[in-house]
Structure 1
Amino acid sequence: MNLKNKVCIITGAASGIGYGIAKRFVADGAKVVIADLKLDAAQKAADELTAQGPGEAMAVEMNVTDETQVNDGVAKVVETWGKIDVLVSNAGVQIVHPLENFPFDDWKKLLSIHLDGAFLTSKAILPHMYKAGSGSIIFMGSVHSKEASALKSAYVTAKHGLLGLARVISKEGAEHGVRANVICPGFVKTPLVEKQIPEQARDLGISEEDVVNKVMLGQTVDQEFTTIDDVAEVAHVFAAFPTNALTGQSLVVSHGWYMN
């Protein structure tokens, strides 16, 4: 299984998990699109990855909640590289509050980035995949696609929603050779997660050490964070898998925090 010369769009790929997936894909010879809200950061990441090779990368500015910007970005990719083989919808944010005082604007913002972003990017690339008769769409879910945690009503709702969207794409895309999957990581120690530690300590009234050891890692089998490389390897499997046998499936990558 390899991605040589496959054109892969990864949203939110200038840093964190998205960058790790992009690095893994480029190392396998893919042509990777670093689609990110910040064009300068996306260009820096694309330059770094192209220098590493053997694949290459290009930068595209993309606010995944803006339909025009998504469509324009996809059009630029097709104009440059002629096709789209893989979409990894990875862009996301985390906002935590108790439900009774969760600001509605924050609720809408989080759901828009996660769900509208997955919908709009999928909608934009599907005609190109249908025309080619193949394609892989991968959504970045979470253990919270399967489980719930206090303070994360919007995030849990969004991540559950991605499972449903992936399953619909799997049904609709089957006759066109397009498959869809969801990766469900546990806690990956990125800036997004590190930001949550003091926030949850404050809202739960516990120490930051307890947030890490009891809330984040308490249900794992080994008290270990999931790594970006762990997630990138799963993304590679889904993207490069040679048949549609896995379509509609999700895979939890969590050091045993959630098992099914």
Structure 2
Amino acid sequence: MNLKDKICIVTGAASGIGREIALRYARAGAKVAIADLKLSAAQAVADECIAGGAEAMAVMMDVSSELQVRSAIDEVAHAWGGVDVLVSNAGIQIVHPIAEYPYAEWKKMLAIHLDGAFLTTQAAWPHMLKRGGGSVIYMGSVHSKEASLLKSAYVTAKHGLIGLSKVVAKEGGPHGIRANVICPGFVRTPLVDKQIPEQAKALGISEADVVKNVMLKETVDGEFTTVDDVADVALMLASFRSNALTGQSVVVSHGWSMQ
């Protein structure tokens, strides 16, 4: 699988899953735009891509801002001639019981995960049309299909991405635009590390119990999913050659969720 000369935008790509996807795309021959709130960190990832022989650029993007999203995606498209692949990966985590979930934080979660996916898709759409098609990849979660305590906003947003991808697949199909969702299990990133003490406190259990009996309890081998696992799937979805694979959700979770 290769992405030679494909123009790819990965949001939330300064760290974690997004960073690994960006690096994997660069190694596959793509031109990669690293989009993130933290421009200096995004530039560091772009520099890694360039050091490996790829073309890369960093753009600042708050995915909940329509103006920033459009400006950043237009900047990439004008620099390189369009957009072929969009990975909507930017996300955060905030956990509270429903009865105590601040409405402002609920709105923030949906704005970043769900509004961000919509806004980036809408902004990339005309540039994909000009290129004769493209691939839109949303970073969902096992929580796109399952539910966990304390994660009402996250679960709601991740479920919503599956619905959005199906509509994008329907509307994009005649134009060669595909849309799919990657649904990882728990990946040991800073985002997940932050949750461990938070959930331990909220559930009144030890951090070790959070890992063993909450996060990894339903896996087949008690292992975390890795950023490499997710990047492998992101490369496959980006490089797939036809509409045969569109409107789908691919679970990468060590068997936590089976379909």
- In structure 2, C-alpha distance between the alignment counterparts of 1:2 and 1:134, rounded to whole Å: 17
User: Would you say the 8 A contact 2:33–2:58 is kept in 1?
Assistant: yes
Q: CA deviation at 1:112?
A: 0.2
Aligned partners of 1:197, 1:56: CA distance in 2, in Å?
A: 37
Spell out the pairing of 1:215-254 with structure 2 (5 A cutoff). 215-254=214-253
Alignment partner, residue 45 of structure 1: 45
How far apart in 2 are the matches of 1:175 and 1:131? Answer: 13
Report what 1:193 is aligned to: 192
1:139 and 2:142 aligned: no
3-state SS in 2 of match to 1:179 = strand
* Cα distance in 2, alignment partners of residues 217 and 166 from structure 1: 27
2:30 corresponding residue in structure 1: 30
Q: Deviations over 1:124-148 (max 9, x none)?
A: 0111112222100000000000000
The 5 Å alignment of 1:68-147 reads 68-147=67-146
Seq. identity, %:
68
Tell me the secondary structure at the aligned position of residue 235 of structure 2: helix
Distance 1:72 1:92 in 2: 20
Q: Which amino acid in the other structure matches residue 26 of structure 1? A: A
Measured in 1, the distance between the counterparts of 2:178 and 2:123 equals 15
State the 4+ residue runs in structure 1 displaced beyond 2 angstroms: none
Q: Deviations along 1:200-222, whole A, 9 cap, x unmatched?
A: 00000110000000100010000
Using the alignment, how far apart are the partners of 1:162 and 1:89 within structure 2? 10
**Could you state the TM-score of these two structures normalised by the residue count of structure 2?**
0.99
Q: Residue 111 of structure 1: SS of its match in structure 2?
A: helix
User: Are positions 1:164 and 2:155 aligned together?
Assistant: no
- Root mean square deviation of aligned Cα: 0.6
Q: Give the aligned residue type for 1:136.
A: S
* TM-score, length-scaled by structure 1: 0.99
CA distance in 1, matches of 2:137, 2:131: 18
Maintained 8 Å contact 2:82/2:130: no
Q: Which runs of 5+ in 2 are unaligned?
A: none
Question: How many matched pairs?
Answer: 259
TM-aligned CA deviation for residue 158 of structure 1 = 0.2
Partner residue of 1:178? 177
Distance 2:197 2:141 in 1: 21
